[in-house]
Structure 1
């Protein structure tokens, strides 16, 4: 009786639910009641007569449930009992809001506006797909009253650096809709490609949409890379998004990131010379001119853009416009003087202001990256803060609306983990939990200033994500976390509860063939390599990033399953041994697929390149693929474009005779602008540089060296061996490539210490 009373108390207090519901994002208000309602092939959806929007949302629900669950629901008009009803409600205080009631007699979704009905349908879709089973489902009785926290719930897709097909873009839009995200910020122009057809200026796509990759035609690199969206394709995408209550906001970058445009029409650049469409990631120097002819070109482009995109906002970029070309131009310096401007930053402010006025005259509103604040912006401009949150704070205090999109917190090209099999991306790591704990409203803003925060968006920059598989892997499930921070009330968010709702979402992803990442739950198999070498036994610790789920493992090389040994505490295993581990949810579904660690002398005496750390002095780090446009998910190499020095800590050198390196030669396609001065150049004594090993410190004694091969005649992946004189004890090794900095980059795939007996396989 005491237990029953305690359970009743916990249930009423909301701490225990008899039938948990896996909804993402979490509704603003949810109360479960007694009973349930069964939905199966005999259930219909009833909508009001002549209500096209209600019919569209109902049909969307029916199609989605048929695809995922195999339940076929008929949509019809009129009245019916024991069914699903879509109904209009009186005007509500919350735009996009809805109520959803499930009783033993039926299901009812009510909303005043079209978006509300649609989001009610999305919530019901999740209730109807609580697991991977097919056929009828018992929906628990409940009442939901729901509305979004923010009006701007966005994702930025960079189609300029790498191009996605129309079907790829639609696949992202479909997932955005299922997450109640409502703005696709579409990055369509940059130095590396112009992706939107402008009929008045055909060279923008004939020339600007294509680039010649470095080492074109070799090692799988295409001869030519690019593509663009025709105006008909863009209309199709915009209509597809609108049917899912998503607004597409185009970005046409200016005054910088303009190299593809200037390559197409050099007269609109500063120098009048034609560059190539850039193959270099980073900050390129090409800016638009500021004469009347260039502004007429931009206005004409914007006319066609506005005809294609009905969005209230037009994004004009404004970021990373280094002013070297403007500073070197006598004509532009004369323009600054004639306009009585202070400097080039003020000229950019004038430039952006002119564009803002043109957009305002056409009933549109300018939005740009936070650099537009540096030179002054129109009073009605909206600021998208990417350089941390300072830009948003400054803009909100000045009375500008802001969208939070800070790096690295909401940058989807940030790595999700330091796992050996993580895909390409940037350091620092931004985990699923990092995204979930992001607060879109900086605490320093007062209530009036906080009201200027329209919402937040995550950015999928694609320099290192050349395929849609990469984009999906980087986006999901981190977009689940984003959806909750922009939709759900801050007071309702709870990290562990969010994790408990993810297994059902993973099963929905699997049913739709979405390549989501399991990084948060991937089992990490840890051993102390040096202690293991000395003792002959490995003390093994298993963990995962989220500290959630059951890790089950094997030690005989077999693939683990739900019946394998449950990890409870560290264990000891004699080596050599192969350990495999996977992570499972409470319902037995897989949270992370099996990972393997081989423990033998070879592996204990080696480190993968991505396990090495940067030497002191530079924390810049990228995980990159073998070639800039490689579409495979692996291999991936860790590089620092400023300094090639990497560290192998506590290397056990007793009995070690040589160092074996498996290395890769990579393209140095990085535009570093003024940061080029930070690149460390080291002397080399052979034509192409050397692999050099320093003992203990990066300026310590050299204990091993080997020449790098001729890059024009050697394969991209190669091996080096360097003899090591007799050493004792454990030492930090600084591993350096001294290749000339105007040539290729080099990366470590694996570094192995080779014992004097030469036999790596002995225990």
Structure 2
């Protein structure tokens, strides 16, 4: 395990226990981990109420950073150090930019009894050194703080360290946007990707087109839940004036964060179409989107007035943002309207667009659209970023790519010589659950991206040629706010996963160690609480691993914590205490019957959150199971044993690992009971979400066999097919036999509808069948 040169937490604990002084000891075990730290053996620096922060009188940026450091210290300790431009005084934190480095964001910190010197290769580097000192102060410090004598050398691995915020689905006021920027600054994030427009709201003032905010910034209501077809009847509105935009840009610049705005085109534009219907293929009428997902109505690619409109919009937007890039989206643009639009068809004929093995005419038309907008933006001195869909039909000449549908698009673009920001959804989309206990988490999009998964991400794709690696600029997390109506929701989903991304793009990947990271993060979580930031603490609690042993026919439960805190557990719904059975790390707890398992960890004699798991034990638990048809790759999770692990799928989400999903196929499973077994019934659940393409089975059949070759059907029931949508619901399907049968082998077949029916909006697409635990009694 790779640790810092000297794991200072151990050393500082010893100092704290043996010193007669009452000073709090600073810890350099921070996030992101610094690249290099050396102890000097000198006396520590004492931060106290008499400490001053100095900066060169001629450097206004360092003056601002000095004021911020003073504010940071006050937030933690309650006392605010004086700032000064005098350079020759003791007991001072000195800011300077004399450090020579090829990396413009590097810094070096020297600490002795007289000074803490933060020396950046630029003002940005000095600012990141400030964050290191800030995070080194314990969250409970309220008196003198000892900073042990060290030399810290630090610099980022990647130039682009980003985080996005979607303000279109839900609007957030200026004060919260600044708070969001403050959180990013704390972890050396240097790019704020601001998603300002979408189907559900246009959030930036455009003076030439006032209806964009008069009409486009307001929707009348919002859908509740996922695919329910039900609405809350509460209007949502809000936008940023250009003066507010300038203020936020300045606020970010003072924290060395570049804001990249996103004006999403040609899809995700319903708010713009509602404001100016002539921009669409049909002419409307349109209304600002009240549901989530993708809409058919997009900007008309055959209408030259659309490009005039975009030129005018960019003329107002681009001067507000000093960034060299603007994000133009380009994602999830359905081509239905274009293929039926006379103007778009005429454009395709004029351009000679025809079906090819690589790209459809619609994809080629989108490529034309993006390339035309890129040229427009290039003439204004800026470059474009687009989601990886802009690769379809051919990439625009100078575009940078955000690779979100995995990393393949990024690899393709890098090999073509285009800059790439890696942001694959399965690792860095923070609108996904961050704990498997989804019933206790805020309702959100549905997938599961735990802290450990985000931390495991490596922005540099394996196998990318060394000469092409320079095009991988970095990575970022994305926050889409469909299910985040408040700033508190956003903070909770951001923290602590932004910290995992921060370390991923800052620190040498060979030095990354998850348990060490969580240990450092746990210390910093006190800062989140003190600053009033909502944050998820799931990573500090008990982690589990459920292992299905189909040879021994056992379900084994393993538990752990990042720091091996003592764990105590109970069986049978009793509350665990320090007097309960102690868990032996690395040893399995074998589940042998229906039980509610509970456990609790104690850290520094403080009782943690109770871990609870309800096990449903039945005759098929941990028995060998095979599937005739493979689940869809997105819903395969732990494979067939998921269906015999004693766990029911959550009602809150079918995307977190307990449901297997079958696309366009039946569900057929064979279970070896290992011996002749009395069988009287079988149950399984189906997750139905018709708007999302999830349908219940057409029929359920149960067959039994003595030898695994010849089967006898003992139950068959056919269900009435749906002809209209229903809200998401979990349906229990049961095969209750008239009399008990004996069998060694059990076959269960749930017949799916295969394709979405004619009455469905996406008729002809594959239908999904979601199945959880197969319970045999």
Give the TM-score band, short-chain normalised: 0.7 to 0.9
Contact 2:515 2:562 in 1 (8 A): no
Q: Distance in 1 between matches of 2:4 and 2:29?
A: 17
SS in 1 for 2:118: strand
Tell me the equivalent position of 1:441.
460
Larger mean CA deviation between 376-385 and 560-569 belongs to 560-569
Q: How does 1:693-708 map to 2 (within 5 A)?
A: 702=715
> Which string of whole-angstrom CA distances, capped at 9 and with x for unpartnered residues, describes residues 478-526 of structure 1?
2212111211233433334323322212222222233333344542568
Tell me the equivalent position of 1:262.
273
Larger mean CA deviation between 393-402 and 418-427 belongs to 418-427
Q: Distance in 2 between matches of 1:124 and 1:708?
A: 64
Tell me the equivalent position of 1:384.
402
- Deviation, structure 1 residue 275: 3.1
Tell me the equivalent position of 1:141.
149
- Deviation, structure 1 residue 403: 1.2
Tell me the equivalent position of 2:128.
119
Q: How does 1:384-423 map to 2 (within 5 A)?
A: 384-421=402-439, 422-423=441-442
Contact 2:597 2:614 in 1 (8 A): yes
Contact 2:264 2:329 in 1 (8 A): yes
2:253 is equivalent to residue 253 of structure 1: no
Tell me the equivalent position of 1:628.
none
Tell me the equivalent position of 2:331.
319
Contact 1:259 1:287 in 2 (8 A): yes
CA separation of 1:584/1:253 partners in 2, compared to 1, >3 Å: closer, same or farther? Answer: farther
Contact 1:523 1:542 in 2 (8 A): no
Q: Distance in 2 between matches of 1:105 and 1:97?
A: 23
CA separation of 1:656/1:465 partners in 2, compared to 1, >3 Å: closer, same or farther? Answer: farther
Tell me the equivalent position of 1:288.
299
Tell me the equivalent position of 1:502.
521
Tell me the equivalent position of 1:230.
240
Tell me the equivalent position of 2:654.
638
Tell me the equivalent position of 1:332.
344
2:580 is equivalent to residue 580 of structure 1: no
Q: Distance in 2 between matches of 1:528 and 1:13?
A: 36
> Which string of whole-angstrom CA distances, capped at 9 and with x for unpartnered residues, describes residues 95-144 of structure 1?
12221112233311112422122111101001112x54543322222111
2:37 is equivalent to residue 30 of structure 1: yes
2:71 is equivalent to residue 63 of structure 1: yes
Identify which of 598, 604, 610 aligns with 1:594. 610
Q: Distance in 2 between matches of 1:40 and 1:234?
A: 38
- Deviation, structure 1 residue 748: 10
Alignment: residue pair count: 702
> Which string of whole-angstrom CA distances, capped at 9 and with x for unpartnered residues, describes residues 432-477 of structure 1?
3332232222233333321122111112223444444443333322
Tell me the equivalent position of 1:166.
174
2:310 is equivalent to residue 298 of structure 1: yes
Contact 2:201 2:271 in 1 (8 A): yes
- Deviation, structure 1 residue 344: 3.0
Identify which of 116, 133, 147 aligns with 1:107. 116
Q: Distance in 2 between matches of 1:696 and 1:24?
A: 57
Contact 1:664 1:747 in 2 (8 A): yes
Contact 1:197 1:228 in 2 (8 A): no
Tell me the equivalent position of 2:387.
369
Tell me the equivalent position of 1:309.
321
> Which string of whole-angstrom CA distances, capped at 9 and with x for unpartnered residues, describes residues 76-113 of structure 1?
33132123222231554221222111223331111242
CA separation of 1:255/1:30 partners in 2, compared to 1, >3 Å: closer, same or farther? Answer: same
Identify which of 565, 570, 586 aligns with 1:550. 565
SS in 1 for 2:654: strand
CA separation of 1:648/1:560 partners in 2, compared to 1, >3 Å: closer, same or farther? Answer: farther
Identify which of 609, 612, 618 aligns with 2:632. 618
Q: Distance in 2 between matches of 1:564 and 1:76?
A: 59
Contact 1:523 1:551 in 2 (8 A): no
Q: Distance in 2 between matches of 1:255 and 1:47?
A: 48
- Deviation, structure 1 residue 181: 0.4
- Deviation, structure 1 residue 180: 0.2
CA separation of 1:241/1:16 partners in 2, compared to 1, >3 Å: closer, same or farther? Answer: closer
Structure 1: which 5+ residue stretches go unaligned? 1-9, 608-612, 624-633, 671-675, 685-691, 756-763
Tell me the equivalent position of 2:647.
none
SS in 1 for 2:398: coil
Contact 2:688 2:695 in 1 (8 A): no
Contact 1:620 1:642 in 2 (8 A): no
Contact 1:706 1:722 in 2 (8 A): no
Q: Distance in 2 between matches of 1:107 and 1:222?
A: 55
Tell me the equivalent position of 2:55.
47
Q: Distance in 2 between matches of 1:280 and 1:695?
A: 43
Contact 1:651 1:732 in 2 (8 A): no
Q: Distance in 2 between matches of 1:434 and 1:416?
A: 9
Identify which of 133, 144, 163 aligns with 1:155. 163
Q: How does 1:636-715 map to 2 (within 5 A)?
A: 636-638=652-654, 670=692, 702=715
> Which string of whole-angstrom CA distances, capped at 9 and with x for unpartnered residues, describes residues 314-362 of structure 1?
1001122232222222222222222344433332222212211221221
Q: Distance in 2 between matches of 1:711 and 1:563?
A: 52
Q: Distance in 2 between matches of 1:570 and 1:505?
A: 32
Q: Distance in 2 between matches of 1:11 and 1:747?
A: 49
CA separation of 1:622/1:366 partners in 2, compared to 1, >3 Å: closer, same or farther? Answer: farther
> Which string of whole-angstrom CA distances, capped at 9 and with x for unpartnered residues, describes residues 526-581 of structure 1?
889999xxx9xx9973414x765325224384464699945433458999976532
- Deviation, structure 1 residue 249: 0.8
Identify which of 188, 199, 204 aligns with 1:196. 204
- Deviation, structure 1 residue 188: 1.8
Q: Distance in 2 between matches of 1:58 and 1:575?
A: 62
Alpha carbon RMSD of aligned pairs, Å?
Answer: 4.6
- Deviation, structure 1 residue 176: 0.7
Q: Distance in 2 between matches of 1:132 and 1:277?
A: 48
Q: What TM-score do you get using the length of structure 2 for normalisation?
A: 0.77
- Deviation, structure 1 residue 595: 1.9
Tell me the equivalent position of 1:18.
11
Structure 2: which 5+ residue stretches go unaligned? 13-26, 355-360, 621-625, 638-649, 656-660, 706-711, 762-766
Q: What TM-score do you get using the length of structure 1 for normalisation?
A: 0.78
> Which string of whole-angstrom CA distances, capped at 9 and with x for unpartnered residues, describes residues 592-650 of structure 1?
63223467xxx65799xxxxx99954355699xxxxxxxxxx97232769689999998
Contact 2:8 2:28 in 1 (8 A): no
Larger mean CA deviation between 92-101 and 162-171 belongs to 162-171
Tell me the equivalent position of 1:513.
532
Larger mean CA deviation between 90-99 and 298-307 belongs to 90-99
Tell me the equivalent position of 1:451.
470
- Deviation, structure 1 residue 384: 1.5
Contact 2:224 2:230 in 1 (8 A): no
SS in 2 for 1:408: helix
Contact 2:206 2:313 in 1 (8 A): yes
CA separation of 1:581/1:310 partners in 2, compared to 1, >3 Å: closer, same or farther? Answer: same
Larger mean CA deviation between 460-469 and 556-565 belongs to 556-565
Q: Distance in 1 between matches of 2:132 and 2:148?
A: 13
CA separation of 1:562/1:229 partners in 2, compared to 1, >3 Å: closer, same or farther? Answer: farther
